[in-house]
């Protein structure tokens, strides 16, 4: 082991590091004769010499997440192609797992240190390792070592990261992996594959699939004239800004108003930020051409993305990658992708909202993301444009090749790549049936929601964005049974000012006119985060500090929202609903806050004519407080998603439990039937909102136990209304009552209900 207390064993630093000089020498090697291995051997020698390091080693990522030593200067030669580490194993493995540099004065003292006797590295104390990144993915690790304990300087770290980017292109250029492995990858590329993800906006698309954000890597990474490259960058940035300004001025984008337009305006502000442009300029000064500098910053951004859990920071980083793509196109003198099929599915790791709109104008039929949530900016815009979206399809991009065919089933959260002919034919028939069905459903818009035997039913919308309001006209819904006030805040990444918030609620009320709208106060926490009011870390967020609990602990937040709601509905009826109520005492406390704000609004002459107060019944504890609860509310709404998961103690997001507990089980239907009876006896209007109500079979069961108002996503209105028109409710209610009461512990009544519907011609 080295004597770590004797600094004389280290090579003395040789003065300032000159990245451009290192890159120029590497370029000569890469352009010269020799195999890829010969070039790697020479490159690690150059890096070791210029950084005054006694060791320089390159590890390449192999199949199975194995890092293999491909070249070294300073370690034993016999270790090359024999030393292997798993990702996460040892310091090299940690660099790969974290996609970030590790700068250690005493590597052996690090908890992750893994000794490999064949390398002879026990003689070296200090170590600097950086990831070799390409397209945001780790393809290797570059490391330098010295005998003495020393902390590598920022200049040395910067130089090694720049060199690692150059090496990434050599690794990706081929010649390093055995031909049989490359052949295996290519041979399997055309096999049918299925990718499962999250359904973010429903629909079906059958079309060629293209990859977004895949640009040809620059052939020459090293800048001969850094100032000329900086000038090119300045010109490209100015061109990008002009294009974004033109997009915002385009009157054709009026249909993506509301939150979607605000997303674009926020995106334009990010484009004007000098921080990320400064990082690109710094990389140019370090010796890279402008394209390579943009790619390097983009790779760092992607790597950082994988380490960040905060949804809002991740969204900002996604916007920066969109801008990087735009900048590369500007540098190439292009406005966008040159050749696209007339209709296509777009695959992306992530995508910005502006790019999505441009693709939509050129035939976008569907969007599939490796990353993405319902609150991703691009998904918000896609919903406005009615583009089917699936998110969370990991490792999709690396499986794509030009000309690939695909089926995007966004209702089921599924992408089928290279589908077999029989599968394609089935989906094509389904698409044709869907088109015919939608054409027929359009005729239902102005018909009353009424069963065949004359029972009226109120069909309401779930909404959360201003762009959802257009669905009132399209579907002919009877109003909004749940307006999720937090969704717009999440799309913006924070709270609007009081005037803006009031204006949003007023626009919702105006759009509804005489139709009712139930405003739910902020339901944040758990999986829905807002800066400044969400808990840092919780072991079980679904049961933690969320929804009304936050509002009661932060009364200023709750009262501010109530004030905005009161002012927005001045002279009308305000229906306000509190979420996640666990005790009647909590509801009374929240109502007291509302009463104080209402009194102030009346003094100011800005109060509603009438205020109705309701609660979301999501927490089972309320079921044993019904007498007191029903005396404290003007209406009640069942939150079927949360109530179901709490009743069965089953996380609704856990795929392993998805089929185990059924909403149409006798216990669940019996519980809801008792609730209907209690509300009817007390004269308290009752509705249900949630995904269950949008499915005709579940809606049928709800009607059978006495629900007469259901709120659902817009896609459910027409199918449920079509079901109503084929239903004689009285005999079905008798059947369901008998089925519930005679159940002897079965898992579900779904099969019996479906059989009844089939036998009686009910359209489910």
Q: What's the burial of 530, exposed, middle or buried (CB within 10 Å: 0-12/13-18/19+)?
A: buried
**8 A C-beta contact, residue 710 and residue 662:** no
Confidence of residue 249 (pLDDT cuts 50, 70, 90): low
Using one digit for the tens of pLDDT, what is the confidence trace for 651-665? 765 555 656 778 999
What's the rounded Cα separation, in Å, for the pair 372 and 122? 44
Lowest mean pLDDT among 279-288, 320-329, 575-584: 320-329
The model's pTM is 0.58
In DSSP notation, 680-742 reads: HHHT--EEEESGGGGSHHHHHHHHHTT--EEEE-GGGHHHHHHHHTT--HHHHHHHHHHHHHH
Residues 6+ apart with CB under 8 A from 618: 579, 580, 581, 638, 639, 641, 642, 643, 646
HEC states along 646-694?
A: HHHCCCCCCHHHCCCCCCCCHHHHHHHHHHHHHHHHHCCCEEEECHHHH
Using one digit for the tens of pLDDT, what is the confidence trace for 565-616? 999 999 999 999 999 999 999 999 999 999 999 999 999 999 999 999 999 9
* Residues carrying an active site annotation: 377, 689
Place of tokens 């409710």: 729
Domain locations in the chain as residue ranges? 7-178, 193-435
**8 A C-beta contact, residue 566 and residue 606:** yes
**8 A C-beta contact, residue 240 and residue 327:** yes
**8 A C-beta contact, residue 389 and residue 360:** no
Residue of 325 and 209 predicted with greater confidence: 209
Q: What is residue 215's predicted lDDT score, i.e. its pLDDT?
A: 52
What's the rounded Cα separation, in Å, for the pair 197 and 168? 30
Residue of 276 and 727 predicted with greater confidence: 727
Residue of 144 and 191 predicted with greater confidence: 144
Residues 6+ apart with CB under 8 A from 749: 664, 665, 666, 669, 701, 736, 739, 740, 743
Using one digit for the tens of pLDDT, what is the confidence trace for 678-717? 999 999 999 999 778 888 999 999 999 999 999 988 888 9
DSSP conformation class of 174:
S
CB atoms within 10 A of CB 707: 22
What's the rounded Cα separation, in Å, for the pair 597 and 603? 10
Residue 648: name the closest of 667, 670, 673 by CA: 667
Confidence of residue 10 (pLDDT cuts 50, 70, 90): very low
Confidence of residue 184 (pLDDT cuts 50, 70, 90): very low
Superfamily of domain 7-178: GAF domain (3.30.450.40)
Mean pLDDT confidence for 72-90:
92
CB hemisphere CA count around 753 (13 angstroms):
28
Strand order in the sheet with 193-196: 193-196, 414-417, 405-409, 204-211, 344-348, 364-369, 389-391, 198-201
What's the rounded Cα separation, in Å, for the pair 289 and 266? 29
142 phi and psi, to 5 degrees?
Answer: -110, 130
**8 A C-beta contact, residue 381 and residue 358:** no
What's the rounded Cα separation, in Å, for the pair 442 and 378? 28
Q: Which two tokens stand for residue 166?
A: 């150059």
Lowest mean pLDDT among 116-130, 364-378, 718-732: 364-378
Report how far Cα 657 is from the mean position of its chain's Cα atoms. 22
What's the rounded Cα separation, in Å, for the pair 528 and 230? 41
Domain 193-435: which CATH number of 3.40.350.10, 3.50.30.10, 3.40.190.10, 1.20.1440.130: 3.50.30.10
Q: What is residue 229's predicted lDDT score, i.e. its pLDDT?
A: 87
Lowest mean pLDDT among 107-121, 252-266, 296-310, 412-426: 252-266
**The two domains 7-178 and 193-435 share their CATH topology (first three levels equal):** no
What's the rounded Cα separation, in Å, for the pair 520 and 525? 15
Place of tokens 């777009």: 346
Using one digit for the tens of pLDDT, what is the confidence trace for 534-566? 555 566 666 777 778 888 888 888 999 999 999
DSSP conformation class of 217:
P
- Strand 102-104, strand 84-86: pairing: unpaired
Mean pLDDT confidence for 369-374:
75
Residue 743: name the closest of 662, 687, 667 by CA: 667
Lowest mean pLDDT among 53-57, 282-286, 557-561: 282-286
Mean pLDDT of the chain: 81
- Strand 517-520, strand 573-578: pairing: parallel
> Of how many residues is the chain composed?
764
Q: What is residue 63's predicted lDDT score, i.e. its pLDDT?
A: 78
What's the rounded Cα separation, in Å, for the pair 427 and 365? 15
Lowest mean pLDDT among 198-207, 243-252, 563-572: 243-252
Greatest CA separation for the chain: 96
Q: Which two tokens stand for residue 125?
A: 């104390």
Using one digit for the tens of pLDDT, what is the confidence trace for 349-368? 778 766 787 788 788 999 99
Residue 175 belongs to what H/E stretch?
none
Place of tokens 């009438």: 610
Lowest mean pLDDT among 150-159, 217-226, 236-245: 217-226
Q: Which two tokens stand for residue 92?
A: 């090299």
């Amino acid at each position: 082991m080295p004597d770590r207390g004797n600094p004389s064993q280290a090579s003395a630093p040789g003065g300032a590091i000159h990245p451009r000089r290192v890159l120029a020498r590497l370029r000569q090697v890469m352009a010269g004769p020799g195999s890829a291995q010969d070039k790697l051997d020479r490159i690690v020698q150059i890096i070791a010499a210029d950084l005054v390091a006694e060791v320089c080693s390159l590890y390449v990522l192999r199949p199975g997440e194995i890092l293999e030593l491909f070249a070294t200067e300073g370690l034993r030669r016999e270790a090359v192609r024999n030393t292997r580490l798993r990702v996460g194993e040892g310091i090299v493995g940690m660099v790969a797992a974290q996609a970030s540099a590790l700068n250690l004065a005493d590597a052996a003292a690090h908890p992750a240190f893994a000794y490999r006797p064949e390398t002879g590295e026990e003689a070296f104390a200090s170590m600097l390792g950086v990831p070799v990144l390409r397209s945001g993915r780790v393809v290797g690790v570059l490391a330098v070592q010295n005998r003495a304990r020393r902390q590598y300087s920022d200049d040395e770290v910067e130089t090694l990261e720049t060199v690692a980017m150059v090496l990434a292109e050599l690794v990706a250029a081929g010649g390093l992996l055995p031909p049989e492995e490359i052949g295996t990858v290519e041979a399997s590329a055309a096999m049918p594959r299925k990718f499962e993800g999250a359904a973010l906006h429903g629909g079906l698309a059958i079309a060629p699939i293209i990859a977004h954000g895949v640009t040809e890597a620059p052939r020459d990474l090293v800048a001969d004239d850094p100032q000329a490259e900086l000038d090119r960058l300045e010109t490209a940035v100015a061109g990008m800004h002009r294009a974004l300004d033109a997009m915002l001025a385009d009157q054709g984008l009026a249909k993506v108003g509301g939150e979607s337009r605000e997303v674009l305006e926020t995106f334009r502000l990010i484009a004007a930020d000098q921080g990320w442009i400064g990082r690109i300029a710094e990389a140019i000064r370090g010796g890279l051409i402008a394209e390579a500098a943009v790619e390097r910053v983009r790779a760092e951004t992607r790597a950082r993305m994988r380490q960040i859990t905060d949804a809002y920071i991740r969204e900002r980083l996604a916007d920066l990658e969109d801008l990087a793509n735009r900048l590369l196109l500007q540098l190439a003198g292009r406005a966008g992708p040159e050749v696209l099929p007339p209709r296509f599915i777009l695959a992306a790791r992530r995508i910005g909202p502006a790019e999505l709109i441009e693709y939509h104008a050129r035939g976008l039929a569907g969007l599939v993301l490796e990353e993405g949530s319902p609150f991703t900016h691009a998904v918000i815009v896609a919903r406005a444009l009615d583009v089917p979206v699936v998110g969370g399809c990991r490792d999709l991009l690396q499986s794509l090749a030009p000309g690939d065919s695909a089926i995007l089933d966004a209702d089921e959260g599924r992408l089928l790549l290279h589908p077999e002919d029989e599968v394609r034919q089935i989906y094509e028939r389904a698409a044709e049936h869907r088109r015919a069905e939608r054409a027929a459903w359009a005729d239902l818009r102005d018909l009353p929601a009424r069963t065949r035997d004359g029972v009226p039913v109120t069909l309401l919308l779930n909404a959360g964005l201003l762009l959802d309001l257009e669905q009132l006209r399209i579907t002919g819904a009877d109003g909004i049974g749940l307006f999720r006030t937090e969704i717009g805040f999440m799309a913006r990444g924070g709270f609007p000012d009081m005037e803006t918030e009031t204006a949003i609620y007023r626009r919702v009320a105006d759009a509804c006119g005489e139709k009712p709208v139930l405003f739910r106060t902020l339901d944040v926490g758990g999986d829905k985060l807002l800066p400044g009011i969400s808990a840092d870390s919780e072991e079980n967020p679904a049961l933690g500090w969320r929804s009304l609990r936050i509002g009661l602990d932060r009364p200023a937040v709750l009262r501010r929202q109530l004030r905005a709601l009161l002012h927005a509905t001045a002279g009308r009826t305000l229906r306000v609903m509190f979420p996640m109520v666990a005790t009647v005492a909590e509801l009374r406390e929240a109502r007291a806050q509302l009463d104080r704000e209402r009194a102030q609004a009346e003094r100011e002459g800005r109060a509603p004519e009438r205020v109705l107060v309701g609660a979301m019944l999501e927490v089972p504890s309320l079921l044993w407080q019904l007498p007191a609860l029903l005396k404290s509310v003007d209406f009640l709404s069942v939150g079927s998603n949360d109530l179901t998961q709490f009743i069965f103690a089953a996380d609704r997001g856990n795929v392993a439990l998805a089929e185990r507990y059924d909403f149409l089980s006798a216990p669940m239907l019996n519980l809801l039937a008792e609730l209907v009876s209690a509300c009817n006896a007390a004269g308290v209007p009752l509705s249900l909102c949630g995904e269950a109500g949008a499915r005709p079979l579940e809606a049928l069961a709800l009607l059978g136990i006495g629900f007469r108002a259901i709120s659902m996503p817009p896609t459910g209105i027409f199918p449920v209304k079509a079901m109503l028109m084929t239903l004689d409710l009285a005999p079905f209610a008798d059947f369901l009552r008998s089925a519930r009461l005679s159940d002897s512990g079965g898992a579900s009544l779904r099969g019996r209900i479906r059989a009844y519907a089939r036998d009686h011609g009910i359209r489910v």
